């Protein structure tokens, strides 16, 4: 039996600001934005090529904004990812080259932390 991680909740203070950041600056796809009931807004956003999405919204979690655990994506070209984030206005770190991978780091407007990793020993990252 497969167990697939497909959705991670990311607590934010301003849903529209966070959606704009993830879609227009980081490049996620906006999959879903609905209000299924009073006090609930569910927004699902997915990184291109990923089987796992994030959910932001209202009435979804009691976690304070900015307290998501560190999240990580893997890319095939860390320099291209860095250039894209920087060109879109994301405050992104320089490329950090480690023996086990190359990384760039950024945070969303609420301080939820992200790492983007490139694994040189793995084909296509």
Task: State the average pLDDT over residues 104-117.
Answer: 98
Q: Edge-to-edge, what's the strand order for the sheet holding 7-9? A: 7-9, 53-58, 40-46, 29-37
- The confidence score (pLDDT) of residue 122 equals 80
- Residues forming CATH 3.10.180.10 domain(s) in the chain: 1-61, 70-125
Percent of the chain surpassing pLDDT 70: 98
* The pLDDT of residue 124 is above 80: no
pLDDT confidence band for 125 (50 / 70 / 90): low
Q: What is the pLDDT of residues 65-92, one digit of tens each?
A: 999 999 999 999 999 999 999 999 999 9
- The confidence score (pLDDT) of residue 36 equals 95
Task: State the average pLDDT over residues 34-56.
Answer: 97
Task: State the average pLDDT over residues 31-38.
Answer: 96
Task: State the average pLDDT over residues 11-39.
Answer: 97
Q: What is the mean pLDDT of the chain?
A: 96
User: Any idea of the CA torsion for 45, 47, 48, 52, to the nearest 10 degrees?
Assistant: -90
Q: Among 3.40.630.30, 3.10.180.10, 3.50.50.60, 1.20.1250.20, what is the CATH number of 70-125?
A: 3.10.180.10
The CATH homologous superfamily of the domain defined by 1-61: 2,3-Dihydroxybiphenyl 1,2-Dioxygenase, domain 1 (3.10.180.10)
- The confidence score (pLDDT) of residue 119 equals 93
Q: What is the pTM of this model?
A: 0.94
What residues contact 31, with CB distance under 8 A and at least 6 apart? 44, 45, 46, 53
């Amino acid at each position: 039996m497969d167990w697939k991680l497909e959705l991670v909740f990311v607590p934010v203070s301003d849903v529209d600001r966070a959606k704009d950041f993830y879609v227009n600056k980081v490049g996620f796809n906006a999959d879903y934005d609905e209000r299924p009931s009073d006090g609930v807004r569910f927004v699902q956003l997915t990184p291109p090529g990923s089987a796992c999405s994030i959910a932001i919204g209202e009435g979804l979690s009691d976690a304070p904004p900015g307290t998501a655990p560190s999240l990580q994506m893997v890319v095939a070209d860390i320099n291209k990812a860095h250039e894209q984030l920087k060109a879109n206005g994301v405050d992104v770190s320089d490329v950090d080259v480690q023996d086990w991978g190359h990384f760039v780091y950024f945070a969303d407007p609420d301080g939820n932390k992200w790492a983007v990793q490139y694994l040189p020993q793995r084909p296509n990252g």
